[in-house]
Amino acid sequence: MTAVEVFTPRTYADGVPYGLFRELRATRPVCWIEEPAVDGWPAGPGYWAVLRHADVKHVLRTPGCYSSYLGATQIRDPDTEADLAFVRAMMLNQDPPDHARVRRVVAAAFTPRAVRELEQDIDARARTLVEQVARDGAADFVTVAADLPVWTLARVMGVPESDRQLLVDWSNRVIGYQDAEYAECAEHAENTEHAEYAGAARPGTADPARLSPMARAALAQRPAPALRPDGHPVNPRSRAALADMFAYAHALARRPRPGSVMAHMRAGGLNEAELENMFFLFAVAGNETLRNGIPGGLLTLLRHPEEYRRLRAAPELTGSAVEEMLRHWPPVMNFRRTAARDVELGGVRIRRGEKVVVYHASANRDETVFHDPDRFDVTRAPNDHLSFGFGPHFCMGAHLARVQMRSVLRHVLTLLPGLRPDGEPTRLVSNFQNGLKHLPVAVGTPD
């Protein structure tokens, strides 16, 4: 494999290229990656990939040199200056001090105390999901796993139960655009007539008959698929492509449930763009991390039966097992920064304005930090993985994510002790999300 395969989305259909990462860490730990045109998406200028654990940490904790704001945090550049200006209002794409101001608005919803108040309900929901797998004897665990983070986020955000499937639909549109199956589903949803919407909006997988009136009104603003003037698809993360989601955000914010994230947003004085981007961050990023992490972690466990047996014999290791799942299967593989000035990193000169992309997936296997890094070890300690980031942008929802992962794993261990793969898993085609589309499993007899 060549270095450009680090960028190519199709590479990840076969798995994260850990062997290539290992080779590059040893020879070119900060290396230039070309950014060719892929599947109708335009070529980019290229970027510096940062692959060693210490260098990744340095970039993430030094916003004065490596900015989230200048070019936002996705490898692909926004289509227009207006698109860039809009996404800069997202907390994820801000530098101090603006980042801290926006983060404080919603931080109260994610304190340990706030999460503790949810733990009992989260555990009950996780148990119900796993019990259903036990009764059915088989399942696609991606579908099972997707329910819990969406259900939890709907509770945190104050989204009515009738509308929570919309969070799944919006996520599919945003994170699945590099994957032909997801893109085809999105296009099919756009081209399927529903009388409830008079031919205007398409609800994807959400049941039109169950949606709230505000959801139906918002979805009427869903745009048709569009191309840029140069013939390339419009970025699915742009304001224009997500008009229906943002219409829903404003409708929900007008009557927020007391104590919800939306109530904090309304009281926190966010401007229009900040509110829309914060809703985007929770609705999409907030559920995709666990939607990838739970089935990915389970698949890792199933592929290491000796560790599965070890964990069943010592369930008190659940906490360290979750951390090792996160290290071994980081839900998000990379994030971008932009050099704010000329800098030197790993012996390489980086010019102001150049893209710098840190790879958590590589840092989590750095031989200088993790002994025998390719080994999956549910007792690993210490475990300084970077799957939740590092520095000012450390994931606000990390504690909530861990609670959900631990709950699912505990119930799998007790209710599905003989769980086994029941077919080949199918990976998401994405150079950003480390995801699965399908994970067929069956309930068997424990060995």
424 contacts: CB under 8 Å, gap ≥ 6: 440
- pLDDT, tens digit, 9 for 90 and up, residues 143-174: 999 899 999 999 999 999 999 989 888 887 77
pTM of the complete model: 0.90
**pLDDT value, residue 158:** 93
**pLDDT value, residue 226:** 61
**pLDDT value, residue 369:** 98
**pLDDT value, residue 227:** 60
**pLDDT value, residue 347:** 94
Residues of the chain under the 50 pLDDT cut? 184-203
- State the architecture of 3-443 in CATH terms: Orthogonal Bundle (1.10)
**pLDDT value, residue 197:** 29
* Cα first-last separation, the chain: 39
**pLDDT value, residue 97:** 93
**pLDDT value, residue 106:** 86
CB atoms within 10 A of CB 3: 16
**pLDDT value, residue 233:** 66
**pLDDT value, residue 108:** 79
